[in-house]
């Protein structure tokens, strides 16, 4: 049986990056990354994969109410999103370039630093 090597794939998507969804029901949507779980290969993107969450309704001291329904984003698989290049504005695969001691992310389309 072939053994799966434990290759650590670096996660190239960071918080506040703009990404485009390339698969699933939110395909084509763009949004800002609000959270990344690198170990699980999952990202949370603003406005993508929103789910309704019901909060218990409780009376407040002033006679109002709290609770009701809020919209909350869910984590989606990292493979379902692509980074959007700030230079060319297109979803792109991420390349890397070694700049002295630092590894920088580059756009595979226009080679701009990301």
Q: Given the rule CB under 5 A, which residues bind Zn ion?
A: 85, 87-88, 107, 109-110, 112
74 vs 112 by CB, closer to Zn ion: 112
45 vs 107 by CB, closer to Zn ion: 107
Q: How far apart are CA 77 and CA 13, in angstroms?
A: 12
Q: How far is the CB of 113 from Zn ion (least distance, A)?
A: 10
Beta strands in the chain (DSSP E): 18-21, 30-37, 42-45, 50-59, 65-73, 75-77, 81-84, 91-92, 94-99, 102-107
93 vs 103 by CB, closer to Zn ion: 93
Burial class (CB in 10 A: 0-12, 13-18, 19+), 47: middle
Residue position matching structure tokens 């990404």 = 19
Q: How far is the CB of 21 from Zn ion (least distance, A)?
A: 18
Q: How far is the CB of 84 from Zn ion (least distance, A)?
A: 9
23 vs 112 by CB, closer to Zn ion: 112
Q: How far is the CB of 69 from Zn ion (least distance, A)?
A: 39
């Amino acid at each position: 049986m072939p053994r799966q090597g434990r290759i650590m794939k670096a996660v190239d998507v960071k918080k506040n990056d703009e990404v485009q969804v390339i698969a699933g029901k939110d395909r084509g949507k763009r949004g800002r990354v609000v959270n990344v779980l690198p170990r699980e290969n999952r990202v949370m993107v603003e406005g993508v994969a929103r789910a309704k969450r019901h909060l218990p309704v409780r009376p407040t001291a002033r006679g109002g109410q709290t609770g009701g329904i809020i919209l909350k984003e869910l984590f989606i698989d990292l493979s379902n999103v692509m980074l959007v290049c700030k230079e060319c504005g297109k979803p792109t695969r991420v390349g890397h370039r070694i700049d002295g001691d630092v590894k920088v992310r580059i756009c595979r389309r226009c080679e701009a630093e990301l």
